A = this chain, B = another copy of it.
Amino acid sequence: MRLTTKGRYAVTAMLDLAIHAEDGPVSLNDISGRQGISLSYLEQLFARLRRCGLVSSVRGPGGGYQLSRATPEINVAEIVDAVNESMDATRCNKQGNCQEGFECLTHHLWLDLSDQIHEFLEKISLEQLISRNEIQQTARRQDGNNDNRIEAFLSEAAVNG
């Protein structure tokens, strides 16, 4: 079992996508800028997310990615599953042949833990995440930085005619 940057980045990016869904397709370049994730790495992650049917892509200028389903219909577990192998805690992939064809002494413990983790992550939808206070604050901070850049660009444009 593992949860690494890969799975964490995927959820973060999907959440960014959900937050900025109103503006049409979101480019990986924008996500990269806001979330501090390298563009090339995002490309790899979204290839998997697309293959699992979680997002759809729009190519060409003005294109980007969109969620395939509404935010209440996407939960964190499936995002992590899409990019990470899984959150399975057993060694035997739940086969029960962990020690010479038989169950190891702790097989059922890890089975229970796997269920526990999966249930927890399954219960959390993107919509629920968006509605959380801390996340809205963080999102505003990230967008604020972006707005500042836009403002700076616009005022400069005004000066230059």
**A116 smallest CB distance to B (angstroms):** 5
Q: Which residues does chain B contribute within 8 Å of A105, judged by CB atoms?
A: 12, 15-16, 35, 135, 138-139, 142
Interface residues on A, range: 35 or more
Asked if A74 CB lies within 8 Å of chain B CBs, one says: no
- SS class of chain A's interface: helix, strand, loop or mixed? helix
Number of copies of this chain that the complex holds: 2
Q: Which residues does chain B contribute within 8 Å of A99, judged by CB atoms?
A: 35-36
Contact status B134-A107, CB under 8 Å: yes
Within 8 A of B (CB), among A1-27: 1-5, 8, 11-12, 15-16
CA distance A36 to B91 in the complex (A): 14
Q: What is A's interface to B at a CB cutoff of 8 Å?
A: 1-5, 8, 11-12, 15-16, 35-36, 76, 89, 91, 99-100, 102-110, 113, 116-117, 120-121, 124, 129, 132, 134-135, 138-139, 141-142
